[in-house]
Amino acid sequence: MVMQQTIKDDLTPEQTLKVIFSYAAKIASEKQLDRLLMLMADMGRELISADRCTLWILDQKNNELWTRVAHGVDEIRVPAQKGVVGYSVQNHAPVYIDDAYQDPRFNQEVDRQTGYRTKSIICIPFENSEGQIMGAYQAINKRTSSGVFTQKDLEYLTLAASYTGKSLEAAMLSNEIEETQKEIIFSMGEIGETRSKETGNHVKRVAEYSYLLARHIGMSDEEAELLRIVSPMHDIGKVAIPDSVLNKAGKLTDEEYDIMKRHTIIGYNLLKNSHRHIMRAAAVVAHEHHEKWNGTGYPRGIAGDDIHIYARITAVADVFDALGSERVYKPAWQLDRILDFFQEESGRHFDPVLVDAFLENLDEFLMIRDSYRDL
Ligand code: C2E
Ligand code: SIN
Ligand code: SIN
Ligand code: FE
Ligand code: FE
């Protein structure tokens, strides 16, 4: 496939400043790493009149370079020493190539897969404030009549990289903190489960059911992702419930049930002091997942919209899973009985909007149940 492209001129100094100014504010206020990468790539592409521009980030731990080209698309990863970008990063040096197919560093496989024809390439590595390599800017196919990248392009891309380095560093740091929070939260959820002799699959199922419900009531993918992380944490407070109650083989006495109910407040107290938004969401879910739509739940007896939507969703996910699973105190219920229960409890225990979303998309929930079955 041959690309028909309009020929462009290099930007004048005035135009260059205009491009930088128009991106500067957006870049400075962008905290989301993948959106930032795309903004920076767009800025680089405009600055040097390239057809494509990609910002590659070095992942030291896995010795890979990764990037993201569009929303919803998974990140792309390549070994950190491969190709032109790998060469540039490994050697801490810029690379210009006028004809990629004449250069042994170029990996033609990428073109073969995309049908794109790479001709000229410029690639410059960039560093963080401590002088460590963070990744590289790579632009492909100069769109001016000369068709090749120049020393000026190198200067502009270097400028763009240094201009945006701070924002990028900040976004990468908060990305890392977020990844760490997710890991901590997930292991805490698993600790809660281990204590009550359940498999890790309960955690995974509740996470996936919650995500599905959130999406089906129109929540954004970002928020549904947050819920996927925090919903399996709802029972973290069970770590403080004595074994004699938690794993009692029969029905709880009233006193024992009162002790059991404290897992909501204990979980909330464990999580509430963090200001991090993931932790705050987890705290709300731990606190409110046994509240009921009609106000007869615990610990506070709040009702309707006063119960946070994350907790209302987790309640449906948790009870659907609890009923279908064997517990020390009860056998697993058959699906018919579970569905009858949800119909009866719609508007009583559960938010009716969520019960509808659940029943209308039952096949998807059953697929999750099947793929994370307890062995
Ligand atoms: P869990 O076993 O994970 O159950 C979570 C929720 O699912 C329950 O919250 C309840 O809303 C629903 N659920 C589970 N099994 C049944 C059932 O057989 N019938 C009905 N109608 N609903 C059911 P709940 O009741 O607030 O219980 C919270 C936790 O307290 C339970 O988590 C479990 O760990 C413990 N628990 C509750 N009842 C008993 C019991 O009789 N014996 C023992 N050993 N533990 C119990
Ligand atoms: C490479 O660096 O060899 C890959 C070039 C591309 O992204 O097309
Ligand atoms: C557990 O006991 O940790 C799982 C039960 C639940 O999620 O309510
Ligand atoms: Fe619970
Ligand atoms: Fe649970």
Q: Is 60 found in the same domain as 168?
A: yes
Q: Is 252 found in the same domain as 342?
A: yes
Ligand 3: centre distance to CA 226 (Å): 20
Pick the residue whose CA is nearest to atom 4 on ligand 1: 322
Q: Residue range 100-129: average pLDDT?
A: 88
Q: Is 233 found in the same domain as 157?
A: no
Q: Is 285 found in the same domain as 205?
A: yes
> Mean pLDDT in the chain?
88
Pick the residue whose CA is nearest to atom 32 on ligand 1: 322
- Percent of the chain exceeding pLDDT 90 equals 53
Task: Classify 169 in phi/psi space as left (phi over 0), alpha (psi -120 to 50) or beta.
Answer: alpha
CB burial of residue 128 (10 Å; 0-12, 13-18, 19+): middle
Q: Residue 141 belongs to a domain with what CATH number?
A: 3.30.450.40
Q: Is the separation of the CB atoms in 204 and 335 below 8 Å?
A: no
Q: Residue range 261-288: average pLDDT?
A: 91
132: phi then psi, degrees, rounded to nearest 5? -90, 145
Per-residue model confidence (pLDDT) at position 175: 78
Q: Is 232 found in the same domain as 163?
A: no
* Residue 314 CB partners (closer than 8 Å, separation 6+): 206, 210, 227, 231, 234, 285, 289
**Residue 307 in this model has a pLDDT that exceeds 50:** yes
**Residue 163 in this model has a pLDDT that exceeds 90:** no
Q: For a substitution probing ligand 2, which of 118, 119, 140, 149 has the most ligand atoms within 8 Å of its CB?
A: 118
Per-residue model confidence (pLDDT) at position 266: 93
Domain, as residue range, for 115: 13-173
Cβ–ligand 2 contact at 189 (below 6 Å)? no
310 found inside a domain? yes
**Residue 165 in this model has a pLDDT that exceeds 80:** no
Residues with CB under 5 A from ligand 5 (ion): 235, 318
Rg value, the chain, Cα: 27
As a whole number of angstroms, the distance between CA 289 and CA 302 comes to: 11
4 found inside a domain? no
More confident call, 257 vs 5: 257
Nearest ligand to the CA of 192 is 3
Q: Is 168 found in the same domain as 33?
A: yes
pLDDT band at residue 194 under the 50/70/90 scheme: low
pLDDT band at residue 239 under the 50/70/90 scheme: confident
166: phi then psi, degrees, rounded to nearest 5? -65, -45
> Which of 110-120 are b and which e, b meaning 16 or more Cβ less than 10 Å from the residue's Cβ?
eeeeeeeebbb
Ligand 2: centre distance to CA 134 (Å): 18
Q: Is 235 found in the same domain as 109?
A: no
**pTM as predicted:** 0.65
Ligand 3: centre distance to CA 13 (Å): 63
Q: Residue range 91-112: average pLDDT?
A: 90
Q: Is 317 found in the same domain as 226?
A: yes
Per-residue model confidence (pLDDT) at position 374: 79
Q: Is 247 found in the same domain as 282?
A: yes
The neighbouring-strand residues paired with 135 are 57, 126
Residue pLDDT, tens place only, 335-373:
999 999 999 999 999 999 999 999 999 999 999 999 988
116 found inside a domain? yes
Amino acid letter at 148? V
Residue pLDDT, tens place only, 60-83:
889 999 887 665 567 788 889 888
More confident call, 142 vs 109: 142
185 found inside a domain? no
Short-list 261, 270, 327, 268, CA closest to 296: 261
Pocket of ligand 3 (CB under 6 A): 192-193, 196, 198, 202, 235, 238, 318, 322
66 found inside a domain? yes
**Residue 160 in this model has a pLDDT that exceeds 60:** yes
189 found inside a domain? no
Ligand 5: centre distance to CA 80 (Å): 41
Q: Looking at the CA of residue 328, tell me the nearest atom of ligand 1.
A: 44
188 found inside a domain? no
Q: Is 218 found in the same domain as 114?
A: no
**Residue 228 in this model has a pLDDT that exceeds 80:** yes
Residue pLDDT, tens place only, 281-304:
999 999 999 999 999 999 999 999
Cβ–ligand 2 contact at 76 (below 6 Å)? no
Hey, which residues are catalytic here? 238
Q: Is 139 found in the same domain as 280?
A: no
Q: For a substitution probing ligand 1, which of 298, 312, 329, 339 has the most ligand atoms within 8 Å of its CB?
A: 329
In the chain, which ranges are continuous DSSP H helix? 13-29, 33-47, 83-91, 109-114, 151-195, 200-216, 221-230, 243-246, 254-271, 277-288, 309-324, 335-345, 352-360, 362-371
Ligand 4: centre distance to CA 39 (Å): 43
**Residue 196 in this model has a pLDDT that exceeds 50:** yes
pLDDT band at residue 1 under the 50/70/90 scheme: very low
Task: Report the domain count for the chain.
Answer: 2
191 found inside a domain? no
Nearest ligand to the CA of 101 is 2
Pick the residue whose CA is nearest to atom 2 on ligand 3: 196
Q: Residue 305 belongs to a domain with what CATH number?
A: 1.10.3210.10
* Per-range mean pLDDT, top range of 82-91, 156-165, 176-185, 299-308: 299-308
Per-residue model confidence (pLDDT) at position 45: 92
Q: Is 335 found in the same domain as 281?
A: yes
Query: Of 112, 140, 173, at which residue does a domain stop?
Result: 173
Pick the residue whose CA is nearest to atom 20 on ligand 1: 323
